[in-house]
Chain A
Amino acid sequence: MATFSAITSVIFAPSLEPSFSNNVIAERTSNLKMAIGGWRKNSFPSLKTNRFCVSCSAKPETVQKVCEIVRRQLALPAETELTSESKFSALGADSLDTVEIVMSLEEEFGIGVEEENSQNITTVQEAADLIEKLVEKKAA
């Protein structure tokens, strides 16, 4: 499913306009929505982030926990919408907030995040994916 999403997002990307993608999303599955949404934000895969993260399918509980920590760190009002695609910077997080969030995540999940990885955590989803990867590695 994830593979399909990644490939499809390549095909659709060049012709993507915000209004067009809204119509497309309505007809597709939520997985595809996430892939296109992620693709739309960065036109090209940056050196740092890997949008074609085939293994990324973090558990909803993980995403939920990350959201809680982010909400607490940034003292977001209840009405602020927080989804897996939410970008920390768009929520008002500065670099100190992001580092604090990473530290809270480390404590919560019992993991250690390398500095170069913490730079790549810009959304809730990215945080959740990295956490699961590290938790798996630790368990192995």
Chain B
Amino acid sequence: MVLVLGAGCCFVKGYVVEHLLHFRLLAKLSQGRMFSFVSKRLSLMMMTKVCCFQRNFSSALPPLVPVKLPSKMETHFWYVLPDEVKSESLLSQYSELLSPREKKNLYHMQGDQFKKSALLARVLVRTTIARYQTNCQVNPRSLKFKKTIYGKPEVDWENGDKWCPPPLHFNISHTSSLVACGVTVNVPIGIDVEEKQRRLKNKILAFAKRYFSPDEVKLLTAISDPEIQRQEFIKLWTLKEAYVKAVGRGFSAAPFNTFTIRARVVKMGGFHHFDTQHSEASEIVVESSDDPENLTRNWQFALLDLAGSHYAAICIEKENSAGGEAGVPMRLTVWKTIPFVEDERVSGTGAVVPISGLIKQL
């Protein structure tokens, strides 16, 4: 018990103390005085340089592989396919990473598929953020989250530490078949993923008339093929959701019918290479009906066909001052991952097909 408490405190006291405790704990372990419940917690906490210790405990998770932060102009996008995570013991170890509140929320969820993707969403965000802390080992389990006054989730870095956490922004979205996390540095990000086959219970146009802007309704009404109309609706929904999540103030700050998102064709001059299916690049823009132009010109979008099964929308704030440089693509790297097990960079492959927006895949 004392061991656990001592090790737990080290994350509050900081990096130097953490190292000291590591050595003390290692000494104790080598004496063979280990209790299994302590071992599980310790194996998670001692992520690096303790390979010999971990070999003794087959139930321990391997160390997290650190990842370099995105540069100021880059967006990182991570996703997990729940169907690829089959191991029950791995899922059980994942559950151990959750906070008590997250565990309780999970407990109350109904539906196995839904529960699994909800679990993976928490695991993905915790491990992803932990991996970016290359200066100091962060236990994904010790990360705390809070909400802004508007309800947007963010990391609650503990005060008083010697290291300064990077201004990392993240946003998550998931369906029952795909879990995603977007990461940027310095600028807010919002993402939304939706199954391509998603069907509304209500009529599309009735829904659009109720919630979308008049221009968007006009655009959807003009589509005669019901299947194409449904697809365009879902794409538009994900873009609008990503925007509201990036702005981070909830629906009431940006009611859906007060802004219009549309694609605008951009001339292909200049030095940028865009990955699109069409000969002309299309930029996605947002226009607000009750907002000064400045605010809406600051947002950059990307819309992707992800893993053949989902639409994924990404919205980030442009770094530059109001207006910003026109035609600069979003530099995007996409990974398919199974936390603690494997990463596969899929940007530029068939798993990530840009639909619209100025995108440069890295």
Contact = CB atoms under 8 A, between A and B. Distances in A.
Interface of A: 47-48, 72-73, 76, 80-81, 87, 90-92, 94-96, 99-100, 103-104, 106, 115-116, 118-119
B256 A103 contact: no
Contacts of B252: 115-116, 119
Contacts of B151: 48
B255 A100 contact: no
A94 B175 contact: yes
Interface residues of B, number: 26
13 contacts: A48-B151, A73-B201, A87-B108, A90-B105, A90-B110, A92-B109, A96-B200, A96-B237, A103-B202, A104-B202, A115-B255, A115-B256, A119-B250
Contacts of B207: 100, 103
Given A96-B194, A104-B201, A119-B251, A47 B175 contact: no
Contact of A116 (B175, B251, B256): B251
A73 B252 CA distance: 23
Contacts of A81: 110
B72 interface: no
Nearest to B245: A95
Contacts of B175: 94
A95 B244 CA distance: 12
Nearest to B211: A99
A100 B175 CA distance: 16
Given A47-B149, A103-B207, A118 B251 contact: yes
A92 B241 contact: no
Given A80-B110, A96-B237, 8 more contacts: A47-B149, A72-B201, A73-B201, A90-B109, A100-B202, A100-B207, A115-B255, A119-B250
Interface string B194-212: 1000101110001100110
A67 to B, nearest CB: 14
Contacts of A118: 251
Interface in B199-248: 200-202, 206-207, 210-211, 237, 241
B8 to A, nearest CB: 21
B111 interface: yes
Contact of B200 (A47, A90, A100, A115): A100
Contacts of A72: 201
Interface of B: 105, 108-111, 114, 149, 151, 175-176, 194, 198, 200-202, 206-207, 210-211, 237, 241, 250-252, 255-256
A119 B147 CA distance: 15
A115 B290 CA distance: 15
Nearest to A98: B251
A48 B201 CA distance: 28
A118 B257 CA distance: 14
A90 B108 CA distance: 6
A103 B210 CA distance: 8
Contact of A91 (B110, B149, B202): B110
A103 B109 CA distance: 24
A93 to B, nearest CB: 10
A113 to B, nearest CB: 10
A103 B256 CA distance: 14
Contacts of A115: 251-252, 255-256
B243 to A, nearest CB: 13
Contacts of A73: 201
Contacts of A48: 151
Nearest to B207: A103
B176 A92 contact: yes
Contacts of A103: 202, 206-207, 210-211
Closest 9 A/B residue pairs (Cβ): A116-B252, A92-B114, A115-B255, A115-B251, A90-B108, A90-B109, A92-B111, A119-B251, A115-B252
